[in-house]
Structure formats: structure tokens, C-alpha cells
Amino acid sequence: MSPELYAAYLAACVILVLVPGPTVTLTIANSLKHGTRAGLLSVAGTQLGLAVMLLIVGVGLTSLVEAMGHWFDWLRLAGAAYLVWLGWKMIRGAGGELGNGEAAPPRGGFLLQGALVALSNPKTLLFFGAFFPQFVDPARDFGLQIFIMGVTAMAVAVVSDSIYALAAGRARRVFSARRIAFLEKVSGGFLIGGGLWLAFSRSR
């Protein structure tokens, strides 16, 4: 991959992460409710999920996902239901623990929760499967280029998501309990919206 092509790919990655998705919403919500450490653990979990997807793309299994047919749709619907459930829990519990000490962490921990949210959208596989080839130089080593692009995508995402986690964690210390509860409800609403979008979107 030439320096010019890599620069174009890096710019595309930055533009993509500027549009927050369910993983960013989860990071913000956990930072608001549980603090910066919880948000950063969520970021680590989403990176783990992203790494799994990038590995699948790298070994050429995207075509297998495309061939899954209705099983792909069931996987997509399961991910959508998980996002809606998380969003509903956030809305119901918004501000509930702010006056009673620390909120209880999610079952399985923030790392696992972040990974599950990242993996809940299997369309990411198809997206990267279609996105990566646009920047591949056929005259150079394919595997090395996929590795470089995967690491770059994760690095851009971890920087962006960590900024969200740190900002939300700081807001938790500055904002009033009522305002934090409102932000938690908004975050839950965005998760539900993301789940509904995923449920009603098409795999192709």
C-alpha cells in the first residue's frame, strides 16, 4: 500500500468514526453511570469485538457470511434485540443509583458487554468486506495490507471512543444527578434506535 493510498484510507476511517454508533452510545452511557474506568473497559470490549470481525474479514470468511442467507438475518435480529434490551435497561435505570453509591456493573462485566455490542451488528463484516478492497493495492502483499488496515481501523476507533469515555466520565463529576439521568435516557434511546434500525435493515 502506497503512502498516498494509506493516507486516503486513514482519512476515510476518521470520517467513519465521527458518526457515533451503538458502541459509542454504550461507552458514553457506562461512563456516565459507572465512571471513566467503566467507559474505557467498554472501549476495550468493543475493540475485542472489532478485532474478531476484522480477523474474519482477513481470512476471507465474508463470503461465507453472505452465503448464510436467513441465518444471517436471525443473527442480525438477535443483535438488534440485545441492543434494544440494553437501551431499555438504561432508560429504566437512569439515575436510579446516583444517590445510593455506585451502580452495579452489568453481568459479565463491561468488557464482555462491549464485545457483545460490537458483535451484535454482523453487517460490519460485510461493510469491511466491501470497504477494504477499495484501498488494496493488487501489486502488493494482500495479507499485510489487510493487517495494516485492520490495525489502523482499531487505532482510530480506540482513540475516538476513549475521548468519548473520558469526556463522559468528566461530565459525570460535573453535571447534576438530574442531568446525568437525562443523558442516560438519551443514550438508552439511541441504543434502542440502533437496535430498531438493525432489525428493520436488510442484510443485503
Q: How far is Cα 147 from Cα 64, in angstroms, rounded to an integer?
A: 20
Average pLDDT, the chain: 75
CA distances to 33, 38, 154, 155, 178 from 81, in Å? 22, 23, 26, 29, 28
Look at residue 107 in the predicted model and tell me its pLDDT. Answer: 65
- Dig out the grid coordinates for 186 from the structure: 438519551
| Residue 55: pLDDT band with limits 50, 70, 90 | confident
| Residue 41: pLDDT band with limits 50, 70, 90 | very high
Look at residue 63 in the predicted model and tell me its pLDDT. Answer: 60
| Residue 99: pLDDT band with limits 50, 70, 90 | very low
Residues above pLDDT 90, as percent of the chain: 6
Q: Taking the CA atoms of 144, 150, 155 and 156 in sequence, report the sign of the dihedral they define.
A: positive
Mean pLDDT of 163-182: 75
